[in-house]
Structure 1
Amino acid sequence: MEIGPYIKLHRIQQEMTQAELADGIVSYAYLSKIENQKTEASPNVISLLCTRLGIQLTDETDETIKEKCQDWYGMLFDTKDKDEIIKTYNELNELIYESQSDNLIMFEIHKIRYFLIIGENEEALRQINKLTDLSGTFDRLHQFYWYKFKGNHSSVTGEHNQAMRMYKQAEEKLNQLDLSEEAIADIQYVIAVTHSTLHNTLEAIGYAEKAIDTFRKNYNFIRCAQCHSVLGISYRRIRMYDKSIKHHNLAKHLGELSKNPQIIQLTNHNLGYLHSTKGERKKAIYYYNEVLNNKEVDLNTRLLTVISLIKEYYSISEIYKTSEMIEKGCEIFKDISDKSTYKVHFLALKSYDLVIRQEYEKFEKLVINELIPFLQKQKDFANLADYARMLGKHFEGLKRYKESAKYYKLANETYEELINL
């Protein structure tokens, strides 16, 4: 790693200004030139700057660091053992700053991915902000991971259009790099997922099929299952239901071979949604209950399944079962400290609770003033259509036909939007 960016990174890491580092050694303008590789400083100046930063210029452990870094990067790709990921990170975080390692920049970029994996989204953002000023010195490989992990952050925070822009910039670097097939397949997979989220169905199918070819060749069952899930969702959207069911069943089979409960239950949820789309309520309820009865399911999937079961039971006028699911949802929410992350689930749960309690005025205010605007802002057209239709039916039952027509119209326009997507 070049000495200028190395000094700059350590300065930023220690939250030191250029003036503070340069004081009594060089002018801060000259330090800026050193950091941005616009001049070569004397060994004496470099030594003084490094002493102030408390770092030593040695590369004795660089090979050891490189090997450890590569192992850790692999763990971030396959995120099964978080305890081992954290343990290795802590070891590297101490070791890597003891030398002028060529691996330091790559390690810092991979920290973005690390923080996202352990659920520290704010730390990931801070890491992005910290590295932004340094990004002009990145080589092509650094840029590839920089864009990819920034895309990961945008995906996690729900900024899917921004995520796509980042992933596309990463993809543009592929022809200039000698990456492994798995690394290429991984970027193809995340692009497929993002296209799916944005309802770009044909693009999602194209990228998922590219990725699955590589994962299949390498016997990576988990990643194959994830691609089959994307394909299952995509074919359901274009009403090719048999093909959709086939892909979901393949995903479930691979999840069972890998003993991965998350994949198995995510597939059950997707099958529940597919049968709900077809109006097959009993089958939908069966698959949703399969998810809910498994204690290893992650929080987001569990909440989503509770809301889905509430919708199904309410649609067939099973009010007792609807109430039971609302209670279950409320129990889950008691253990959640940051409810803003699951805002759509919380608003949906509250909406159904108010409507079955016949607290219609509160229900109307909540859905009209909070839930619908939130879904519109998030461009969550599927849920927007559902809740607009629910509100239309509610007003129709109260013989408030003008308001009913307004929300039925919104539901129809939203369905049109989904079709156009």
Structure 2
Amino acid sequence: MIHLNQTTANTTKMDIGSKIKFFRIQKNLKQEDLAKGIISVSYLSKIENNLTSPSEEVLQLLCKRLDVSLAEQQDENIFEELLSWYKSMMSSRGEKVHTLYEEFSNKIQSADTKTYMYFVLFELRYYLYMKNLSHSKKLIEKLQQFMDVFDVPMHYYFQKFYSIFEYNHNNFNESLVHLKKAEQLLHRNPIIDKFEEADLFYLFGLTYSQTMKVPLSITYTTKALQAFQSIYDFKRSAECQVLLGISYRRIGEYDRSEESYILAQKLSESLGNSYLQELIYHNLGKLYAMQNQQTEAIREYEKSYDLSKNEISLRNVNSVYCILLEYDKMGNQLQCKKWLQIGKDLLKYHQDDIEYHLYFTFHECILLGEYDRFDEIFQEKGLPYFQDKGIQEPIIIYSEILAQYFESTYKYKKASYYYSMCYRELKKQTFLQ
């Protein structure tokens, strides 16, 4: 965690401008609403930008309308509790995280301005943790209005949380932009908690993995693993091993990939963590699939699916999709139809997820032999979506399927187009360019 210089002092008249601006925005008031009957809007603007010192009478009237005090002391106990709450979000202790949020929501109104601002920042992280992206977006928009009064650590947290928001929208390139800003800000703070540094490195590894920049993913994930191991965080160490396994698989280092998964499996078993076990089974399935061991791959995918099938989660949709892919490779249409229907049923709970709706639509076209429709949807919706999100793997999979179909029907121009597309994406993935 970044440690702040937390001196106790009365708020000066110049400092109060930032405080007034913060609480006005927090209470969803326009400058006109706050200034009405007290001062002009232009004068309030100067106060909020710390360009002028108002009289005591004006300060009292503004603060009364905002229901805040003129003088304050930073409550270091509440501040440390806030940091502890934030850290618990990265340790995935759901019950505790939610309980602490309810407690802070009730008592934070009496905290000093700086602590309150950190609460709003960590509230953003809380809604990201809860996967409430619509509320997260509103908080980002609110926070952007008073970024000019952030200190360096506040800017760091905002950029980090913004990157997580973009990641959850599959905007991986945008996520990296914010991560790089966060990394620059992190290095401007001399005292950094090892856990915070490790978590940022892990986010880099995760995001670079999504953009298929495997060497960078390995570099950052290894740094994260070393940091988590140094503080004996076995759960996060296991997550790093899974991510390393994915990267090694992508560059054909199958033995190293399996070794990472086995290490992760040992850790997850010792922790009794079913989510990690589900993740490991899924990625073992991917490893076997890469080696064309379809039976073994399906076995591992089904283990993963069995652990998550009672949840309304995209994780079980992903497992179903991967099982469908393997049965398609085997030419088992009966099983393909079965798992396609399971996937479509699950997607009723995820109407807004474009990616998986595309996947199952493509496979429905394949099973029905509607390749012209498949080609049309891929060109109009699939390809633009995957390119915009920087997702290469489905472009490789579906361009090859379309290429093979058009070759078999003697449409060589279209076949050549899709083979070229597949080759270009493979070059990006295997670093041959």
Match of 2:314 among 297, 300, 307: 300
Report the CA distance shift for 1:298/1:276 in structure 2 as closer, same or farther (over 3 A).
Answer: farther
State the partner residue of 1:324: 338
SS at the partner of 2:401?
A: helix
Q: Does 1:267 align with 2:267?
A: no
Structure 1 stretches of 4+ with a deviation exceeding 6 A read: none
Structure number with greater CO (CA < 8 Å, separation at least 6) is: 2
Between the aligned partners of 1:312 and 1:44, the Cα distance in structure 2 is: 74
Q: Does 1:171 align with 2:186?
A: no
1:96-151 CA-to-partner distances (Å, cap 9, x unmatched) read 22343431111111122111111111211211111112111111111211111111
1:243-296 CA-to-partner distances (Å, cap 9, x unmatched) read 111111112221222222221111111111122112222221111111112236
Q: CA RMSD in A?
A: 2.1
Q: Does 1:256 align with 2:269?
A: yes
Report the CA distance shift for 1:402/1:101 in structure 2 as closer, same or farther (over 3 A).
Answer: closer
Q: Provide the aligned length of Structure 1 versus Structure 2.
A: 417
8 Å Cα contact 2:212-2:392 kept in structure 1: no
Per-residue deviation at 1:361? 3.9
Report the CA distance shift for 1:61/1:260 in structure 2 as closer, same or farther (over 3 A).
Answer: same
8 Å Cα contact 2:172-2:390 kept in structure 1: no
Per-residue deviation at 1:224? 0.3
Larger deviation, residues 400-409 vs 204-213: 400-409
Q: Does 1:154 align with 2:166?
A: yes
Report the CA distance shift for 1:175/1:395 in structure 2 as closer, same or farther (over 3 A).
Answer: closer
1:212-260 CA-to-partner distances (Å, cap 9, x unmatched) read 1121122211110111112111111221111111111112221222222
In structure 1, give the amino acid aligned to 2:362. Answer: S
Per-residue deviation at 1:366? 2.6
Per-residue deviation at 1:382? 1.1
1:384-407 CA-to-partner distances (Å, cap 9, x unmatched) read 010001111222333333322221
Between the aligned partners of 1:50 and 1:418, the Cα distance in structure 2 is: 57
Structure 1: gaps of 5 or more residues: none
State the partner residue of 2:324: 310
8 Å Cα contact 1:55-1:99 kept in structure 2: no
Between the aligned partners of 1:386 and 1:99, the Cα distance in structure 2 is: 54
SS at the partner of 1:408?
A: helix
Between the aligned partners of 1:91 and 1:330, the Cα distance in structure 2 is: 40
Between the aligned partners of 2:53 and 2:337, the Cα distance in structure 1 is: 71
8 Å Cα contact 2:221-2:243 kept in structure 1: yes
TM-score (normalised: structure 1) = 0.93
Structure 2: gaps of 5 or more residues: 1-10
In structure 1, give the amino acid aligned to 2:198. Answer: A
Between the aligned partners of 2:146 and 2:26, the Cα distance in structure 1 is: 12
8 Å Cα contact 1:192-1:203 kept in structure 2: yes
In structure 1, give the amino acid aligned to 2:364. Answer: D
Per-residue deviation at 1:358? 2.7
8 Å Cα contact 1:18-1:31 kept in structure 2: yes
Between the aligned partners of 2:134 and 2:86, the Cα distance in structure 1 is: 21
SS at the partner of 2:221?
A: helix
Between the aligned partners of 1:56 and 1:87, the Cα distance in structure 2 is: 28
SS at the partner of 1:103?
A: helix
Between the aligned partners of 2:220 and 2:234, the Cα distance in structure 1 is: 17
8 Å Cα contact 2:172-2:389 kept in structure 1: no
Report the CA distance shift for 1:163/1:368 in structure 2 as closer, same or farther (over 3 A).
Answer: closer
Report the CA distance shift for 1:180/1:127 in structure 2 as closer, same or farther (over 3 A).
Answer: same
SS at the partner of 2:243?
A: helix
Q: Does 1:389 align with 2:433?
A: no
Q: Does 1:413 align with 2:387?
A: no
